Structure 1
Amino acid sequence: MSRIIAFAGSTRVGSYNKMLLRAAVENARRAGGEVTHVDLRDYPMPLYDGDLEESEGQPPHATELYEMMKEHQGLLLACPEYNSSITGVLKNTIDWVSRPRDGDPPMAAFAGKTAALMSASPGALGGLRGLVHVRAILGNIGVTVIANQIAVPRVMDVFDDTGTLVDARTAEKVAGLAKELVETTNKLHG
């Protein structure tokens, strides 16, 4: 069984993307995936800076995530859209975790992995524009991003007050994407 690491590109406690991710994680587990759910809020890192890296090395949280990600074959990402692009926290995480480490091949935490992308937004496009950028970044560092993706518009209408996904159509899409990620990851890495 392939292992999948899941996180949202947000640190906000009430993030809609974190809610979407929780629903996807449950579905990936139901589909037979072994999923590690990570909250980037628990892994704060300074902004990537080559001088800082040279003088102090990798931040401990970047090293922790790097080691975790090396042990997983799949990525399940919920990606908020900020100004039509990727969030700073997600980009910074990718930047630090993608840095070379002695003894490991380049991009060891990303190369050869399979990823599924989702986004949610109060707006009409559901964060779709930001997913284009995330897809390009991941593709450039050796991740196979599955073609299917989910962008949930008017997200406040698909979750109840407890953060439970209540919209049947969205729930069906999330279940399908999670299952596709598990099956694709198993085929490629099983």
Structure 2
Amino acid sequence: MEAAIEVQPVIKVAALCGSLRKASFNRGLIRSAIKISKEAINGMEIEYVDIAPLPMLNTDLEVDGTYPPAVEAFRRKILEADSILFASPEYNYSVTAPLKNAIDWASRPPNVWADKPAAIISTGGGFGGGLSQYHLRQIGVYIDLHFINKPEFFLNAFQPPAKFDAEGNLIDEDAKKRIKEVILSLQAFTRRLQGKSQ
């Protein structure tokens, strides 16, 4: 008699981009990650969660323990996700204002980030968004996010050859391979934290 094969539930990943620009290279990284997960990774579903509709954090908007509709919808997406994928551009050595705003809204009581695994990818000039990643990791300590340590993904968007097309889509094959490695590491780490084997 053959042993039954355990079918593991699909890992649901909420993907957030710190840039609101439609042709943003960092949003292009998210689109690439979604495509890779659909075509080359079993048991993982990445959904882009738009942070643009969120109002600026103002606790006056909290009424009797409830939040504005856009905030409630965002918090629900984070709560229902098994893990988080951030695409974090670097503004002034840190994370962007829209991303910090989203993080702060979801950390309001009850903190819906708590105990979730996460990964970061970024692109930009110089260090490719690296300083924003390290600042995001610091924020993650307080809100109880568990980031994968390796592999790290930084991409200099402006160093030849071209990494993105005119619409902000990732066209660099090596970068796509590296994103896949990040996603696989996040998948394995999520399973580990859930107490399940690969």
TM-score normalised by length of structure 2: 0.83
**How far is 1:56 from its partner?**
9.4
- In terms of Rg, which structure is larger? 2
Q: 1:175 aligns with which of 172, 176, 180?
A: 180
Say whether residues 1:31 and 2:34 are aligned partners.
no
Tell whether the 8 Å contact from 1:9 to 1:78 is kept in structure 2 after alignment: yes
- The question of 1:82 aligning with 2:85 is answered no
What residue is the counterpart of 2:17 in the other structure? 8
8 Å Cα contact 2:24/2:168 also seen in 1: no
Note if 1:139 corresponds to 2:141.
Answer: yes
Unaligned runs of 5+ in 2: 1-9
Higher-helix-fraction structure:
1
Distance 1:28 1:139, change over 3 A: farther
| Alpha-carbon offset, residue 46 of structure 1 | 2.2
Match of 1:113 among 116, 121, 136: 116
Aligned equivalent of 1:103: none
Q: Give identity over the alignment, percent.
A: 33
Give the gaps of 5 or more residues in structure 1: 101-105
Q: Over aligned residue pairs, what C-alpha RMSD do you find?
A: 1.9
Q: Does 1:53 align with 2:55?
A: no
| Native 8 Å contact 2:23 2:167 kept in 1 | no
Partner of 1:69: 78
1:155 and 1:144, CA in 2 relative to 1: closer, same or farther beyond 3 A?
A: farther
Whole-angstrom CA distance in 2 between matches of 1:65 and 1:147: 26
Q: Distance in 2 between matches of 1:97 and 1:75?
A: 12
